[in-house]
């Protein structure tokens, strides 16, 4: 009897589906931060072994994936130059190189695996829906935790000995209490709440491609609950912006889309001033929703830009530094990939991320009408693009890596079924 289309068959499929399905278990033991890089480098080893054995042709790797690999390699070279410029020493350079291998490198390795290895999209989608189902079952426990006296943090895993950005990456946290408001907030298996919103968006757009209605429903419902309870402002904005954009791009070759767009463009022209004022008011309300957080983010940005421009324009400072008391000693450039890159890796580091991201966005935007994989890939790169202005992507790559695999598959895909109306 033929195997189910969503049943893992190859080693890569089993590795990916098994890791996604084990997310909550890995969170419980504090192993998520370790699992992401391990999976990324194991998949890379599979890619190189397949090419070495002649089962895959290196010429089949898409140009955009080569661009990602070159850009992330450039990140490492820029990092070394930054360390040399500030005489940070061999020990710090080795430590930062390991950090690159657990962060920026993954942003190239996972798309490479998705483009080269035999990984069926249906396997990834079904694994994500299963994880959404378990998330839906666990949501009541997280909701009840602050009201029935359960502790905020159950424990911090001894696995933190391997090293990482902080103990929150290895902690099993049920909820946190919002400073000032005194209300509970949930981060689920992410290190903080906005990161949970980001990962939930990645999984929502993947689950939306499930062909089985029951699985699609539980998958979307589970991660929609995670996104809402994370109380991430950016998650809600991104969800409302990305979904219609991907829908429209998938039907760009339909005449009726242009007929719909024409009156919309006319209205923008007629009421452009009022629309701009409305958007400015929304942005102001967005910042005012968490005024303290917005103040700290703005101060971190100013410090990062000032020190980048005056101290390390081309190659950056090489390492992250904590800010002053004004920003609650948070790392300079945190909460923003571009400010963080400018401070740590200078202008060249920011260009190294911008170029492959823009190229991928254009390619997948054009190909979105070709099939479900391309549409999902477009949604993934849009999520990363939007969240690059609110998070440091490399720090969270260990969580959103399934989206990177989908981007690789989308870049390698040729054509598929046309977008359904």
In the beta sheet, which residues pair with residue 173?
A: 153
Name the 3-class secondary structure at 244: helix
* 11-50 b/e (C-beta count within 10 Å ≥ 16 → b): ebbebbbebbbbbeebbebbbbbbbbbebbebbbebbeeb
| pLDDT in the model for residue 421 | 39
Beta-strand pair 171-173/184-185 = unpaired
| pLDDT in the model for residue 254 | 63
What sections of 53-105 are H helices per DSSP?
A: 63-85, 89-102
Token pair 């912006």 in the structure block, residue:
241
Kindly tell me the number of DSSP H helices and DSSP E strands found in the chain: 16, 4
315: which DSSP letter? T
Do 161 and 190 form a contact (C-beta atoms < 8 A)?
no
| pLDDT in the model for residue 280 | 56
CA distance 386 to 405: 18
CA distance 407 to 71: 16
- Residue 126, token pair as written in the block: 């079904």
Could you tell me which residues come within 8 angstroms of residue 25 by beta carbon, excluding any fewer than 6 positions away? none
- Residue 338, token pair as written in the block: 């571009």
CA distance 21 to 25: 9
Do 113 and 46 form a contact (C-beta atoms < 8 A)?
yes
| pLDDT in the model for residue 267 | 52
| pLDDT in the model for residue 205 | 96
| pLDDT in the model for residue 415 | 54
| pLDDT in the model for residue 419 | 42
Do 54 and 107 form a contact (C-beta atoms < 8 A)?
no
In terms of C-beta distances under 8 Å and separation of at least 24 residues, what long-range contacts does 18-24 make, across chains too? Answer: 20/124, 20/127, 20/128, 20/130, 20/131, 20/402, 21/127, 21/130, 21/131, 23/131, 23/189, 24/131, 24/134, 24/135, 24/138, 24/189
Q: What is the pLDDT of residues 47-68, one digit of tens each?
A: 999 999 888 888 889 999 999 9
pLDDT 10s per residue in the chain (421 long)? Answer: 344 666 888 999 999 999 999 999 999 999 999 999 999 999 999 999 999 988 888 888 999 999 999 999 999 999 999 999 998 999 999 999 999 999 999 999 999 999 999 999 999 999 999 999 999 999 999 999 999 989 999 999 998 888 778 888 999 999 998 876 778 999 999 999 999 999 999 999 999 999 999 999 999 999 999 999 998 888 888 898 899 889 888 877 665 555 555 565 555 555 556 555 545 555 555 455 555 566 777 788 888 888 888 888 899 888 888 777 666 667 777 767 888 899 999 999 999 999 999 999 999 999 998 889 999 999 999 999 999 988 889 999 999 999 999 999 999 987 554 444 3
| pLDDT in the model for residue 322 | 77
CA distance 226 to 195: 11
What sections of 148-290 are H helices per DSSP?
A: 193-207, 213-229, 233-249, 255-270, 272-288
Nearest to 397 by CA among 157, 202, 210: 202
In the beta sheet, which residues pair with residue 153?
A: 173
Phi, psi of 67 (to 5 degrees): -65, -40
């Amino acid at each position: 009897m033929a195997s189910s289309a969503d049943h893992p068959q190859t080693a890569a499929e089993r590795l990916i589906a098994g890791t996604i399905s084990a997310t909550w278990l890995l969170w419980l033991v504090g192993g998520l931060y370790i699992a992401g890089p391990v999976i990324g480098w194991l998949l890379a080893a599979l890619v190189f072994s397949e090419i070495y054995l002649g089962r895959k042709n290196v010429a089949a790797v898409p140009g955009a994936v080569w661009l990602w690999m070159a850009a992330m390699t450039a990140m490492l070279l820029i990092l070394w130059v930054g360390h040399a410029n500030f005489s940070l020493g061999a020990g710090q350079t080795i430590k930062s190189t390991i950090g690159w291998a657990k962060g920026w490198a993954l942003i190239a390795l996972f798309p490479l695996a998705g483009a080269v290895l035999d990984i069926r999209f249906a396997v990834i989608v079904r694994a994500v829906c299963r994880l959404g189902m378990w998330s839906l079952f666990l949501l009541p426990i997280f909701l009840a935790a602050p009201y029935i006296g359960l502790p905020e943090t159950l424990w911090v895993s001894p696995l933190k000995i391997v090293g990482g950005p902080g103990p929150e990456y290895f902690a099993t946290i049920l909820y946190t209490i919002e400073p000032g408001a005194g209300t509970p907030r949930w981060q689920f298996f992410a290190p903080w709440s906005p990161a949970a919103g980001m990962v939930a968006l990645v999984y929502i757009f993947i689950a939306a491609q499930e062909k089985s209605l029951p699985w699609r429903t539980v998958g979307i419902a589970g991660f929609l609950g995670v996104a809402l309870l994370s109380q991430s402002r950016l998650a809600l904005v991104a969800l409302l912006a990305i979904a219609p954009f991907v829908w429209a791009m998938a039907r760009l070759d339909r005449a009726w889309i242009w007929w719909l767009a024409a009156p919309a463009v006319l209205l923008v022209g007629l009421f452009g001033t009022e629309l701009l004022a409305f958007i400015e008011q929304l942005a102001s309300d967005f910042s005012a929703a968490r005024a303290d957080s917005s103040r700290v983010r703005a101060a971190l940005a100013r410090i990062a830009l000032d020190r980048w421009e005056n101290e390390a324009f081309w190659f950056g400072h090489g390492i992250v530094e904590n800010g002053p008391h004004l920003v609650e000693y948070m790392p300079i450039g945190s909460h923003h990939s571009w400010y963080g890159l400018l401070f740590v890796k200078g202008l060249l580091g920011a260009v190294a991320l911008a170029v492959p991201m823009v190229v991928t966005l254009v390619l997948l935007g054009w190909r979105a009408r070709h099939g479900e994989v391309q549409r999902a890939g477009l949604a993934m790169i849009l999520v990363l693009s939007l969240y690059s202005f609110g998070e440091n992507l490399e720090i969270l790559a260990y969580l959103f890596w399934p989206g990177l695999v989908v981007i690789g598959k989308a870049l390698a895909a040729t054509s598929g079924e046309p977008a359904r109306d």
